[in-house]
Amino acid sequence: MPPFKPSYGLRQGDPLSPYHFILCMEKVSIAINNAVLHGNWDPIHITNGGPKISHILFADDVLPFTKARNSQFRFITDLFDRFNRASGLKINISKSRAFYSTWLPQEKIINLTSISGIRSTTSLGKYLGFPMLKVRPKRSDFNFIIDKMQTRLASWKNRLLNRIGRLSLATSVLSSIPSYYMQINWLPQNICDSIDQTTRNFIWCGSSNKGIHMVNWKKVTTPKRLGGLGIRTARNANTCLLGKLVWNMVQSTNKLWVNVLSSKYTSGSCILLTNATNNSSPSWESIIRAKEVLKNGYSWRARSGSSSFWFSNWCSHGYLGSLVSIIDIHDIHLTVKDVLTSTGQHTNALYTSLPQPVADTINSFHINFNNTVEDAFIWIHNKNGVYSTKSGYSWLLSLMEPANVITLHFSWSWIWNLQVPEKFKIFIWIACHDAVPTLSLIHHRHITNSETCGRCGEGDETFMH
């Protein structure tokens, strides 16, 4: 085919437009990386020795990072001008914003704004729906979640739904609205309570907010096989979704955000041993809060045995260094493999005395080490050792007090396996909880003055009556 020159560019909505954009952004990324390599672009780094960040590409956005210097802004402006001429794509200056460090003088900001033409801002607002927080989150930062749920409830024919329809809507749609924002934020407790209250009111009362909550909310939020309806509580769902971030930090996955947070907050140690500090970011505080809830679900798994015998959580007794008053200097650098591969009683290789129950446990260990695989923490509540939101939520439910769980020995699945309409299943479920709204139950809740049956006038109107 002979070469040709297109007379019209690709318009927005053209099937080839995304590919054209990706190719152009790849060229921008290469140009920025070359500028960094030659010292023309000065990237930022959160900590000394931490990863340097020059730019981030996400969807159709470019987020450049650099030092607040006139020379840097002139070079960046020139680089993007050359990109505009080469690609035909132009930066929307009116929609772009520059975010500066709080310590930068206002005069400097005005000078840099005149060079780039991009206005400065002190608040990034929301990005892809997520609030970009700089301080500890407040209720007002997440009120929009409750507003979204209320808007959804007030929409299309919600008033015509029966209880089965409302339950399905609450399980699928309502639970998905806050889940998106729970992935990176530890929501305030009052927001979680409002989410649960909105869901609870909708199931029992619909849009009219008039009705009786016939079954306790703690029972409703248990799995169906344990006598509940399988509705997830907001706090547990929030914790389990943040658990995915904890898992990435535990495994030290090679992701930019993991490397940045690790270099700033963990200092090379495992996140399970790290706590939040006074200058922690909201995202890091959220991860640490979820970690505090989920950390007991992790267990050390021996591979090469290179972990410290004293300062790693490799056995059921925790950190052995905390169980002795002093560690002999000959033992300080011992690894797990050094001790557990010794002949005879393993503790005979130690100069430091351990409590007898701990020594007995260590002497009972027989581990086959693999030098090609590093020691690691695994999630013990999943068969493959990998954390998942589902396994995390199931484990949190198992920590509930026995009074909150109906029974672990009797399955309620028979109700949901019945070949009858869903409304009958719900009625049977309510009856099994002794929550059918008879006069006896309503009188017990101080709604009516009498519990006498209106038909016979002789006995109390109970379900069996």
pLDDT at 156: 56
Q: What kind and span of H or E run contains 442?
A: helix 439-444
Q: Model confidence at 342, in pLDDT bands (50, 70, 90)?
A: confident
Q: What angle do CA 188, 192, 196 make, to 5 degrees?
A: 170
pLDDT at 157: 52
Helical H segments across 155-233, by residue range: 163-169, 175-182, 189-205, 217-220
What pTM did the predictor assign?
0.81
- More confident position, 136 or 429: 429
Q: pLDDT, tens digit, for every residue of 292-335? A: 999 888 887 877 888 888 887 777 777 788 888 888 888 888 88
Q: pLDDT, tens digit, for every residue of 228-260? A: 888 899 999 999 999 999 999 988 778 888 888
Average pLDDT on 411-427 reads: 89
- CA distances 69 to 31, 55, 116, 123, 138, Å, are 20, 16, 11, 21, 34
Question: What are the φ and ψ backbone dihedral angles of 357, each rounded to 5 degrees?
Answer: -60, -35
pLDDT at 388: 93
Q: What's the mean pLDDT when you consider all of the chain? A: 84
pLDDT at 240: 95
- More confident position, 263 or 210: 263
**pLDDT for residue 344 is more than 70:** yes
| Cα distance between residue 439 and residue 456, in whole Å | 13
8 A C-beta contact, residue 308 and residue 335: yes
- More confident position, 357 or 344: 357
pLDDT at 108: 92
Q: Model confidence at 268, in pLDDT bands (50, 70, 90)?
A: low
- More confident position, 162 or 107: 107
pLDDT at 406: 45
Average pLDDT on 444-465 reads: 75
pLDDT at 1: 67
Average pLDDT on 207-212 reads: 72
